[in-house]
Each structure stands twice: as C-alpha cells, then as structure tokens.
Chains A and B, each alone.
Chain A
Amino acid sequence: MLRAEPAWPREDLFTLLVARGKTRKTLRQATLLGPFDAAELTARMDAEAQALRGEGFLPGGLEARIQALQGTPRERALAAVRLGWRRDPAAVEPLLQAFSTAGFERSAVLDALGLIGDGRALSVARAEAEKKLLSRRRSGVEALRNLDDAEGLVLARGRALDRLPDEVRLALEAPVATAESVAAVLLALPVKEKGLALDSLYELGTPLAASTVIAALPKLELAAPHVWRYVKSVLKRSLLRRDAPVFGAVAHAIERAARKTPGTQAELKSGLDGSVRKTAVFRRLTQIYVMRLSWRHLRDLARYEPGRYAEAAAEVLARYGPEDTTEPTAIAGSLSTCHLLHRILLGRSERFELERSALLHRVRGKKPSALKKGVREESYPELWDASPGAYIRLLAAGRLREVHEFALTAVKRAHRSAVETAAAADIVAFLSAPHEETVELGLIELNRRFDPRAPDLELLQALAKDGRPAVREQTLRWLELAAPVWTRNVERTLALLDSKDGLLREAVANLAVAELPEAGAELRQALAERIARLLVAKETEPGQHDGLARVASLALLDELTPLMSLDDLIVLFATGSSGARSVAGALLGRHPEALDAIGLSRLAALGSHEVASLRESVRALLLSALPALRLDPSPLFALVESEWPDARTFALDLLRSELAPSLGRAVALGFLDSRRPEVQRLGRDLLYRDVPSLSPHEIDSIVDRLVQHPDRAVHAVALELLLLAPESERTLRPELLPLLRGTLFDLTPQRATKRGVLALLRSAALRDEASARLAAPLLSDFVGTKGRLDFEETIATLVEIRLAYPGLANRLQLVGGPTA
C-alpha cells in the first residue's frame, strides 16, 4: 500500500507510508518515509510503486478480478465490467484470453477492452462490429469508438446507414436537417421500425444523431415491444460513450415511462437463437434494474472518473420537470418517485429513506422535517464543487424549482465566479428559467456584462436570436443603449436586421435609421451595397427583408440610387420580396428617366399600386410632369377612382389646384358620373364654374345625363341645375322621370331635394299641359303616401292640375263632378 499524508504540523510537507501484504487487512513491513514536498512526493511515490511491482505486487483488487475471469460466466462478466472501469493495461491480455473462450459474457469483456483503450483489442472489436446480433454489434462498435479506430468506425457507420429506413436517411442528409425534423420522420415510422432506427441513428455517433435521439425520446413509447430493447441498447451505448446528455435523456425517459406502465408481454423473436417466445417487456423488475443501473453508473463515475460525475448528474437533473412531481403526502414528498433525482440531490439526506422494492423515497419518521442549515444532502458534494460548470448547466436548462434552488445555493455559496465566466448563451437561457431567482441572477449578470460603450456584441446577437418576449424586452433596451456602437459595424447591423422576431427586426431597423445619419459616408455606402445585394436574393422566410427594406427606404436612398438602375428596379419590382418591392418603389421616384421609359399613362396606373412606396414615387414623378399633365390631364382620371385614399387625394388635389383650368365640361360630367362623393364634388365644382356660360339647351342635356345616376347627391345637382331656370321657364320632360320618381319613392330622401321635386312638378305642370301630362300620373302614383307633408303637397298639386286641365286624365275624383 502506498499512502501520502500531510506531515503534521507542516501542511506543505507530506509523509509516505509503504506497506506490503496479500490484502488490505494483512499488511506488514510498514515503513514511513519523508517528509517530502509536493514535487518530491510524486517522484518518490512513482519510484516506490515501481519497486513494489518489481517485487510482484499488483494494484489492489486487480489480481482478484483477473482471477475472476476464470470463474463462471456471471463472475467473468462482473470482473470484466470492473476491469473496464479500472482501465489497467495489465488486464488486457487476460481479457483477450477470456474473450476467446467467452460465451454470453463476450460483450462485457469487449466493452472492458474498449474502455481500457488498448490497441491489441482492435481486431477483436472490428470482427464483433460486423455481427448481426445487437449486443455483439453494439459492443464491437462502441469498442471501436473507445479505441479511436477511425477506419473501423467508417465501415460501421456505413452499415448503420444501410440499416436506417430510407426516409430517415434522407431526412438526415437533407441540407437543413435539424434534430426536430429527423425526429419527426423517425417518430412517423411504423412501431416495428422505430427502435432499430433509433439505435442505428445513435450508432452513427454524429452530433445531429445524438440530438435527434434526445428529441425523439420524450415522444417515444419506450415500453412498446420492438422498441424497448433498442432503447436499452441506446442507454448502454451512452454509458460506454460517457455521453452525459443522451444518458440523462434516456435515464429520465425510462424513469418517466416506469411511472406510467407496468410493462407488457409479447411474442418476440430472439436475436440470439431466432426462436419466437413470449417475452416480458419493460416489466417492473426490468424497470427497477435499469433505474438502479443508471445510479450505479453515476456512482462508478464518481469513483473511477470523478471529473465526469457532476456533468452527467447535471444532465439527468436538467431533464426533470414539473410533470415528474406527484401530490405530496404525509409520508412521501412530491419527488418521491424521482429515483435518480433523489439519489443525486438527496443521496446523503437523513430525512428520506429508500423503499428498495419499489424504488420509492419515503420520508423518514412520521412527518417531513426541514433541511438543517448548512447541511448538504447531495451525493458527492466535493465532485459538484470541483465542476461548477454543472451548476450553470442546471440553471440554464433545469425545469424544476428544487433543481434551481440547489444550483443557486451552490452558486451563492462559493461559485459566483462560475456565473461570471459562463457562456453568453447560458446566461440568456437563465432568463427563461421557471425560477424567479434564476431569472434575476441572469439579469444581474447580463447587466454586469453590458457596457453601452463597449457592448458584448456576441451577447447582443445571441439575445436577438432568442425570440422570447422577456428576452426581447431586455434586448431592445440594450440595443437602444448600444445603438451608436453596433450601427457602426455593417456585419452586426445586418445580422441584427436578420432577426427572426418581427418586432425586434423593426426596432433594430428604427434604431439603425436614427443612427445612420450620424455614421460616416463610407459606412453608409458599405451598408447600402450589402443591402442592395441582399435585397436581390430570395427571402428564406417571409418578412426577412422587411428590416433591410426599412433601413434602405428611410436612411439609405441617396446611397442606393446610383447602385440600382431603372432596369434593376423593374426586375426587383417584378421578382423581389415585398420588402424589396417597397425599396424599388421608393427608388423609382429618384429616377426621372422613369417618366419617359414607362410613359405617363402607365405611370399614373402604377399610382394605384398596392405598394405604398411605389405610389409615393409615382406621385413624385407625376408632380415633375406637371407641364405634360396640363396639356393632357387624362392619366389622372383613373387615379381619382383608385381604391387607395392617398392616390385619390393626390389626384383630386392636383386636379383641383393645378389642372382645373385645363379640365372641360366633359371631364366635369365624367367626374359626376363617379360613385365617389369626393370625385362628384370636384365634378360639381367644375360644372358650376361653367354654368353661367351654358345655354338652356346645354343645361337640359347635362341634366338628362345626371338624372340617370343612382346617387341622390348627383340628383341634387341635377335638380339645382333645373331650378336655375326661372320658374316661368321650367318644363318637364320624360327624361327627367328617373329623378322625379327616384326622389319621390326614396325611403331616405334629402328633404330639400324632395321639396324641390314637388315644387318643380307643381310649377311645371301648372305652366304647360305637356308637363302636366307627365306630372299627373306620377303624382297619382305617389298620392297614396302616408307622409303628411308629401300627401298634402301632392294632393294640392293634383287638385290644381285637375282644375287647370279638366280634360287631362287624372286619378283625382272631384266630389260632385265627373271622374276623368
């Protein structure tokens, strides 16, 4: 035995105890050497160890394990597993000898050889990797991986790819394959194929494959026949690879499934002998065995590879969420069914005890007791403290309040520096933690790191990519504070404008627009050139160009104008994204040659286009073409009927203020023919301008047109024109009937118009008989009205007509007189 101890009372010096014996309990010839300083101690220990080996002594337990390789298959397998953990090269030859004679324990022996990592096992591993039997193949491939046999692994990957269903392989090889997309394809496979595909995927050993396994596990029915054996295989692979994330995911998924199902029985074909027999699948014994195996693995890690323990434990803890908790009772807490969590977080607790048959962690005593101050209940606290990064992982990914409290306590106690040195993405992840204190810690740390004069641009970019509302708010505040810095960097600005969050993108664009006038001409030019190139490219998702377009339209038009010719704009307009089209629209107004190239009529038609910036540019161009419009204002006539209010207002204002003198009577009538009230008003104003010069005949022909309009506003104009004539000259014509009948039978008429029509009927009818012939039947039809005023006026007029023209057909019957 070799043991170093501090040479009391000097703590910088050590003594070295050397003793010999067959076992720890039968040591003799003990010699105390030293004291030595630290450097000397190491050299002396090596020398003493060498001497002991020379005397034929071996590391404790090694010989016994090697001896056990000669025992029963079970003893051989257990010895091999232990030798694998010890990784002593001295065990390689015995293991190889044992492999050559091994039966069922063959895989355990090969696993051990792989873990030791000695090249002598290569040929054996390669041969096993080609086997069809899952256990042997798995051991072979994982041994190759542990032996770093690149050549053997390439062949194994090829075979694994061949085993994968086509759809999974295609999804995996897709250019933008993600863990979620491949997992979705995998989960859509028939049940019988899912398990093998999962295992084969994991056998590939690529980061994407591992992420896919993690993504697929929560949605997979582990306990199903044809699936469970492969899930178990994935667990074993993850143990051999020391793959903490996948181990955490599988161990948690198994525990969760064990809570829900007692397992099943199914007729399954054995991989070993090919016979079909009734097999228990994921029954309770298996569940307990696997859950205990998981903890055993963590315990072995703590013993043999202590540096890996905290990382693996953290990955397991991060998987637990509120859905794993149960309603607490007097004898069991909310986490009583979370075996691994209890082992890791409360492994040293005296408050709970394990009911081994059910792996249930009950409260010790009659009622739950509170945690005593300063007591640490987690297993292997020294290993946690040695890997503070594990706490950060828990804070970033943990979903359970208890897990966050554990990590926060540790961070506050002794690991504040771990937070200060953590990656930006991890701190950002703190902000979405389900524990308020963790969120606060994240905000404090981000605020500490943030310097508006020298902001952490990587951090800002990571925040911008996040997309969660809570993060967005903080990001926007910092972006605003640091705008003078990041807007001076073209790449950063473009990256931020590329954010997938529409609101953030718009805010970034607004900040850039506000800052860019202060930036140098060179930077603006460079940004404009990059934006011009980006806008021509196709959007990968709708709205991607919106931020770029906003900056371009509001801050970089001067720089972009020489960069894009009229032809470029037309192409952009025809094929570009909506953002690109809006920039093209805004730039069009800066190309005076567009007027000649496109032509006034087509340009005016574009004035009603759905892209607002194009309409604006068209308006600018039309204003520059005023002389031509004065000669021929017709291109604007279509614009007054546009469905866009801005286009209509522009055209109407221009016609009213600048072009009115060039508009004739025909145009006025055309405008009056419109259904839009504002256009009708312009038409009326233009018409009234000419009225004094119109002859009665011309007025009549205009009125004849206007009365056919269905709008009562235009009828009112027609009536006004009719009433312009002196009372003595007013007559009725059949052409006026639409106006007269339309007004009388209008359910919601303008009072003045109706009174005017009745007055016109009366005056015209009494003036000449031809008018009376028209008025009498019309009034006769209307005299049945129940409106008092209308009735009185109508009946009075009819009476007057009756008296004025006794010979005229009249519905009115005078009492005592003849009926016409």
Chain B
Amino acid sequence: MIENLRYAAASGLVQRAGHSELGLATNTLRGNVYFSGLLRQPLPLREALGALRGVVVSDLKFRPKDRPKFQAWLEEEDRRFLATLGIKSEHARQELERLNVSLDALNRIREKRREAFHAARLAYFRFVLENEYEKFYILDPVITVHPDEVFFEAFSRDESSYARLGVSQDLFDDVGPFACGTTNIDFSASLAEGFDRLRAYRDTRFAIGPSGFAVATNTTTATNEDSEVHHEKKVDLPESWVRGFLQVQSAMSLSMPRFSLAPVDLYNICRFLKSHRTRKSPRALRWELEPGKRVRAVLEPWGHVIELSTIYDGTKAQSIRTWGRDRLKVLARLLPVAQRIDVHLAGTGLPSFYVLDLGGISFTLALSGWTDNDWTGGAKFDLLTRRLTGTAAEVLTVYEALRLRRFATDAELAEVTGFGIEKCRTTLSYLCQAGRAIYDLGKRVYRHRDLFFDPFTLQDAAAAVKPALEEKAPEAKAAKHIHEAEDVRVIARRPVTTGYKLSGSARGASGPRVRPLLHVDYEGQIIEASCTCAHFRSHGLTQGPCEHVLALRLAHMERLAKEDSKGGLAPA
C-alpha cells in the first residue's frame, strides 16, 4: 500500500524577534485541518514531541547481524587452508606462510590508507539515512484536531509500539479559528531538531496548517527551493501497519488491570535496564500485583525487584510478564516532566499501555506483547472485544453522531442514537477497527478520527460489518461453527462486580470436548479466559482466544441478547 503525502511547505521552527513559531505542515492531499495558538508550556510539549519522534523512528526488531568482514575473513582462512592442502614441500609451505604474512601486512597498510575513504563513505551513508530513508520508510504521524485537544498518533517502524500524544487546548492562549479533522504532518529529522529549540522565555505560536512556514530554519532547505515549496513522500506502507494501527484500538478497549507509577519508579526501571544487559532468558519485566500492597516490578533474569511507590488497588493478585522492555527507554525523555504514569496490562505476553500525564499533555505508549510480536503477527485483539452483530446503517449512524461531537462516551452516544448501550459499544468497536474512531485510554472516551481520507460511506460501513458476519479469523469461524452446531453449552454463569464468570463445555470440529472458562465484563469484552485445549496450553491468550472460548462467549452473548430484548440493560 503506497501512502502518498504531499506538503506545500516544510514543517519547522522559525525564530523571530522575541518569539518563535512552530509550524506543522499538513498533508495537502487530505482535508483542510488547521489550528493556531500560543503555547503556554513549550518545554513539556518539546519533550513529548521528542519522545513521539523516538517512537516513529524506533525499530527494535531482532535482525541477525550481518557480518561481512567476519565472513570475508572466514572465507580467506578457508582458502588459505585449502591452498596448503596440496602442498607437499616443506619449503613451499614456509614460503607460502611468509608470503601470507607479507600479504597481511600489505592489507593492513591498505586498510590504513583507505580509512579516510571509509569514513567518507560512512558519512555518506549517514546522510542518505537521514535525508532519504525517511522519505520512503518513515510514515509521518497522524494529527487530529478536536475541540478539547490536539493529538498526534504514530506507529513505530517495527510495528510494535504505538504512541499517542494529546495536547489539551487549555495549554494554548490566543487560540485562533480552527478546523477539526485528521491529517498527516511533515515530521522530518530537521523538524525534530527544531523542537529542541523551543524555549519558555520566548513566546511560541503553535500552528498546524497546509502552509507550514515559508522560511525554513536550516540552510539546506533555504537553498533548495524545490524541496521547500513542494515536498512529497511516497511511503510504502505495509498492510500490517494499517491493521496494527486498528488492532491497537481493539487492545485499548479491553478491560485491563491498571495501576499508577511515580516517575521515579519508571526512572529506576529504565536506569537499571540501561546499566544491565543480558543474553539469558527470560528477559521479561514481571509485574507483581497484590491487592493492598505496593506493586513490585521484577526485572528478569536477574530477579531484581523494584518496589514501586504505589499501592495496587485491584481485587485479584496477579503476576504479569511483559517483554520488549527496552522499548520503555523511549519514555526516558519524559521523566523530568511527567507527573504521573498509569500502567494498563492486558496480561502475560499481551500488550501493555503506559499513559503519562505531563500536565495538560498526555502521552500514551502502547507496546505489543513483545518486540517481534507486532500488533498483527498473531495477536487478534479484535476477537477479545465484543462481537454482537450490527448493521451498516447502525454503524453509520453512530459514526455520524461521533463525528458531530468529535468525542463522547458510549453512554452519551447510546442516548443520542437511541440504540442500546450494547449495540453502541459494538458499533464503536467496528468503527475503531475500520480506522474511524479511537478509544482515549486517558479520558475513557471514544474519539472520532478518520485514519483514511476517503469519506466513510454506507459501503464502507457494510464492509466493516461484513467481517463480523463472515468471520475471517479461523478461530472465530470455528467458534461460529461450534455455536451453530450447538456443540457449546454454558455450564455455569455467575454475575460478579466486573461482569460475568462462565464455565462451559465445547467441542471443536476435531478433538475432544474441552472446558473453557471465561470472565467477561458487561461490555462483553474478555477479561480473563482459559481452556483445557492444546491451543491455549501452547499460547495462552497471546495469539488471541481459542475457538472454544469464543464459542462460549457467543453462547453467553446470545443469552445476554435474549435478556436484553426482554428489557434489561446491562449495567454500564
């Protein structure tokens, strides 16, 4: 998928007498989105934008080392060894060794002589990396202007981290007229340098618009008029990138254990990771959650325990392991300006979310289960969310209601549209997965955000609903078959404060009858699940729920819908 981005001007920071202007040029191929205001606290925003840039360019996926020098050396050694095999004469052998020593010396001299060349070549590659790479491989963040905040969203290159930076409009003075909507912004390396020039002692006007700034800060762009006036990028965007973007929303709307951290707690974790490295497994960050006790972070494999300053207020003791902890280092820059950090953990090997409160600015970092497990590789978080059926017309109605309000809770939308709250949640789930809405974890509201420029039509709504009707995921398909074949039954259903706990019995197309256990919230989202099947024993929930768990949930949802139609609304 080729994502075309066109900018009428470059983004940048311009310093004028006594004040500076931070202009973010928007993608002119999308709708007209603009905003302008005087920044009240530039320093936290500076750090947050720097961290966002860190997420955009980060790529921590494991790649085996390419060691051409070592390979060349190995081949040379092999060649030498083979060359000596046929030599019978001792004199010839000695002569060969002598010549090899001379050759090595000459090679060293040559390497020494070519040092300058190698340095220049390296400099050239760096230049290419900085100036060309980002034109084709780094997708600019998505920016959305809402009446209450402006937020940026970005996905890392390795598709394992998602960041959302929300800047409250309360942080701006002298806010000019603005147009709500979503677009991309030119987010180059030079702009990142520009962010670092933000200072509190200078008034800084923050502007989002197609024109950016006519004057760029660096001399390269000043002399290269073409690139300044018209700057285009064609990013070859993997399908997985888009799907990942949508899966994040599914994962965010899960019910998850949540606790708070003080900045110094994250500082301690990052500091330890910075000074300790290991090749041994497990390289996990284990969270020990015990109700009424301080949360403990255990850094494995050292078993180093960091007792946090906050008390866990959940109801159930849990031990949750998360991997890919090095990705947390991207938050290091925010530690001095952070006031509070909320952590949401979906479960062992499942995504984790860090929401940093910077005082009017919130920075959400969503991490997949581990670095190599991107949001689309195996995880199917959409299966964990509620799956009532919905029609295209219902989806479109909720979309229009959300678009008009820009942000709202599910209850507010249910009231406006007249749908039941369950239906509303289902349609919102579709919208999130179609890229038309997001779930704001900090404020716990749904927000309108069109990831794609094309208008959302009835056909799009039908396409969004279709996957639910014709399940694409094999587990969901199998679950539907189990349900239709009446091979699942609910053995026990117990209402609890967070929703329902169910135990059941199910049998798939092949294999023995198994015993799925399920804990769902009132919204139908899976909080906890387990099963006696082989799939669950191997993967747990890291690859999404198994067909038996999903079939049990279908049976539960069917029963719930029957109760709903009798007039009972599930408590919100």
Docked complex Cα distance between A748 and B332 (Å) = 10
Q: How far is the CB of A269 from chain B (nearest CB, A)?
A: 49
- Contacts A710-B46, A784-B309: A748 and B220 contacting too (C-beta < 8 A)? no
**Does B389 sit at the interface, judged by CB under 8 A?**
no
Q: Contacts A675-B193, A710-B46: A605 and B262 contacting too (C-beta < 8 A)?
A: no
B303 within 8 A of A: no
Contact across chains for A747 and B274 when beta carbons are under 8 A apart: yes
**Does the CB pair A785–B267 fall under 8 Å?**
yes
Cβ < 8 Å to A, chain B residues 199-235? 199-201, 218-220, 222-223
B98 touches A (CB below 8 Å): no
Q: A142: CB under 8 A from chain B?
A: no
Q: Kindly list chain B residues whose C-beta atoms are within 8 Å of the C-beta of A745.
A: 263-264, 267, 335-336
Which of B47, B219, B267, B337 lies in contact with A747, CB distance below 8 A? B267
Does B268 belong to the interface (CB within 8 Å)?
yes
Closest B residue by C-beta to A784: B264
Q: Is B3 an interface residue (CB 8 A)?
A: no
* Docked pose: A86 CA to B268 CA in angstroms: 106
For residue B447, give the distance in angstroms from its CB to the closest CB of chain A: 30
A286 nearest CB across to chain B (Å): 52
Q: Is B270 an interface residue when CB atoms closer than 8 A count as contact?
A: yes
- Selected contact of B219 from candidates A638, A673, A675, A738, CB within 8 Å: A638
- Contacts A673-B197, A781-B262 given; does A643 touch B219 at CB 8 Å: yes
Residues A702-723 near B (CB distance < 8 A): 704-705, 708-710
Contact present for A708 and B199 (CB under 8 Å): yes
Is the C-beta of B271 less than 8 angstroms from some C-beta in chain A?
Answer: yes
Judge whether A608 is part of the interface by a CB distance below 8 angstroms: yes
A638 to B219, CA, bound (A): 8
Instruction: Answer whether residue A741 sits at the interface, using C-beta atoms and an 8 A cutoff.
Output: yes
Question: Which listed residue, B196, B223, B267, touches A675 by the CB 8 Å rule?
Answer: B196
Report Cα–Cα, A321/B271, bound state, in Å.
69
- Given A705-B201, A708-B200, CB of A747 within 8 Å of CB of B271: yes
Main secondary structure of the interface of B (DSSP, over half): helix
Residue of A nearest to B219 (CB): A608
Report the number of A-B residue pairs with Cβ-Cβ less than 8 Å: 71
Chain A residues whose C-beta falls within 8 Å of the C-beta of B268 in the assembled complex: 784-786
The reply to whether A748 and B335 form a contact with Cβ atoms under 8 Å apart is no
- By the criterion CB–CB under 8 Å, are A738 and B43 in contact? yes
Q: In whole angstroms, how far apart are the Cα atoms of A638 and B218 in the complex?
A: 9
Decide if B460 is an interface residue (CB 8 Å cutoff): no
A782 in contact (CB, < 8 A): yes
Indicate if A182 sits at the interface (CB-CB under 8 A).
no
Min CB distance A465 to B, Å, is 28
Q: Is B219 a contact partner of A605 (Cβ separation < 8 A)?
A: yes
B265 interface residue, CB < 8 Å from A?
yes
A616 at the interface (CB under 8 A from B): no
Bound complex: CA A525 to CA B551 (Å): 92
A785 contacts which of B50, B200, B220, B264 (Cβ < 8 Å)?
A: B264
Option from A710, A781, A786, A787 in Cβ contact (under 8 Å) with B196: A710
Taken together as a complex, chains A and B put the C-alpha atoms of A786 and B267 apart, in Å, by 9
A349 within 8 A of B: no
Within 8 A of B (CB), among A736-770: 738, 741-742, 744-748
CA distance A787 to B336 in the complex (A): 16
Query: Which A residues touch B222, using CB under 8 A?
Result: 605
- A742 vs B50: C-alpha distance when bound (angstroms): 15
- Contact across chains for B196 and A744 when beta carbons are under 8 A apart: no
Residues of A within 8 A of B309 (CB): 784
Main SS at interface, chain A: loop
- Are the CB atoms of A641 and B219 closer together than 8 Å? yes
Given contacts A641-B218, A710-B196, contact A784 B223 (CB under 8 A): no
Residue of A nearest to B222 (CB): A605
Instruction: Check: B445 CB closer than 8 A to any chain A CB.
Output: no
**Chain B 188-200: CB-based contact to A (< 8 A → 1; otherwise 0):** 0000010011011
Residue in A closest to B334 when the chains form the complex, CB atoms: A745
Assuming the A-B contacts A741-B336, A745-B335, A745-B336, are A786 and B271 also in contact, with contact meaning beta carbons closer than 8 angstroms in the complex? Answer: yes
C-alpha gap A708/B218 in the complex (Å): 21
Contact between chains at B265 and A784 (CB < 8 Å): yes
User: With an 8 A cutoff between CB atoms, is A474 at the interface?
Assistant: no
Residue of B nearest to A741 (CB): B336
Residues of B within 8 A of A609 (CB): 223
Contact of A748 among B43, B201, B274 (CB under 8 A): B274
Contact (A643, B265) CB under 8 Å given A708-B43, A742-B336, A744-B336:
no
> What is the minimal beta-carbon distance from B242 to any residue of chain A, in angstroms?
33
A-side contacts of B514, CB under 8 Å:
none
Measured in the bound complex, the distance between the Cα atoms of B427 and A374 in whole Å is 97
Residues of A within 8 A of B411 (CB): none
- Rounded to whole Å, the gap between the CB of B45 and the closest CB of chain A is 12
**Does any Cβ of B come within 8 Å of A135's Cβ?**
no
CA distance A709 to B309 in the complex (A): 30
- Does A642 touch B at the CB level, under 8 Å? yes
Q: Which of B270-325 contact A (CB under 8 A)?
A: 270-272, 274, 306, 309
Q: Specify which of B193, B262, B329, B337 is in contact with A741 (CB 8 Å cutoff).
A: B337
Contact A704 B336 (CB under 8 A): no
Within 8 A of B (CB), among A769-820: 781-787
A745-B267, A747-B274, A786-B306 known; A643-B220 Cβ under 8 A: yes
Q: In the complex, what residue of chain B is closest to A705 when comparing beta carbons? A: B201
CA distance A630 to B39 in the complex (A): 38
Task: Please indicate the chain B residues that have their CB under 8 angstroms from the CB of A783 in the complex.
Answer: 264
Residue of A whose beta carbon sits closest to that of B224: A610
User: Which residues in window 337-378 of A have CB below 8 A to B?
Assistant: none
Q: Which residue of B lies closest to A638 (CB)?
A: B219
Query: Chain A contacts of B218 at CB under 8 A?
Result: 641, 643
Q: Which residue of B lies closest to A787 (CB)?
A: B271
Distance in Å: Cβ of A634 to nearest Cβ of chain B: 14
Chain B nearest CB: distance from A750 CB in Å? Answer: 15
Assess the B199–A705 pair: CB atoms within 8 A. yes
Which residues of chain A are near B223, meaning CB under 8 Å?
605, 608-610
CA distance A609 to B329 in the complex (A): 37
CA–CA, A744 and B268, complex, Å: 12
**How far apart are B272's CB and chain A's nearest CB, in angstroms?**
7
The CA of A514 and the CA of B522, in the complex, are separated in Å by 87
Q: Which residues of A contact B267 (CB under 8 A)?
A: 745, 747, 785
- Could you tell me if A747 and B332 are in contact, using CB atoms closer than 8 angstroms? yes
* Shortest distance between the CB of A350 and any CB in chain B (Å): 40
Least CB separation from A783: chain B residue:
B264
Residues of A contacting B201 in the complex (Cβ-Cβ under 8 angstroms): 704-705, 708
Chain B residues within an 8 Å CB radius of A673:
197, 199
Please measure, in the bound complex, the distance between the C-alpha atom of A609 and the C-alpha atom of B220, giving whole angstroms. Answer: 8
Contact with B along A635-650 (1 / 0, CB 8 A): 0001001110000000
Q: Are B263 and A781 in contact (CB under 8 A)?
A: yes
Nearest neighbor of B309 in chain A, beta-carbon distance: A784
One digit per residue, 1 when the CB lies within 8 angstroms of any chain A CB and 0 when it does not, for chain B 10-22 equals 0000000000000
B47 — which chain A residues lie within 8 A by C-beta?
710
CA distance A747 to B199 in the complex (A): 22
Q: Bound state CA distance, A746 and B270, in angstroms?
A: 10
CB-based nearest B residue for A606: B223
CA distance A704 to B263 in the complex (A): 24
**Do the beta carbons of B336 and A786 come within 8 Å of each other?**
no
Quick one: closest B residue to A786, CB to CB?
B268
Closest 5 CB pairs of A and B: A784-B264, A741-B336, A745-B335, A608-B219, A745-B336
Q: What residues of chain A have their CB less than 8 Å away from a CB belonging to chain B? A: 605, 608-610, 638, 641-643, 673, 675, 704-705, 708-710, 738, 741-742, 744-748, 781-787
Chosen A-B contacts, 13 in total, with CB atoms closer than 8 Å, are A605-B219, A608-B220, A641-B218, A641-B219, A742-B336, A744-B336, A747-B270, A747-B271, A781-B262, A782-B264, A784-B262, A784-B309, A785-B264
| B interface with A by C-beta (< 8 Å) | 43, 46-47, 50, 193, 196-197, 199-201, 218-220, 222-223, 262-265, 267-268, 270-272, 274, 306, 309, 329, 332, 335-337
11 more A-B contacts (CB under 8 A) besides A641-B219, A786-B268? A608-B220, A642-B219, A673-B199, A675-B196, A708-B200, A710-B46, A738-B200, A741-B337, A745-B335, A781-B262, A786-B271
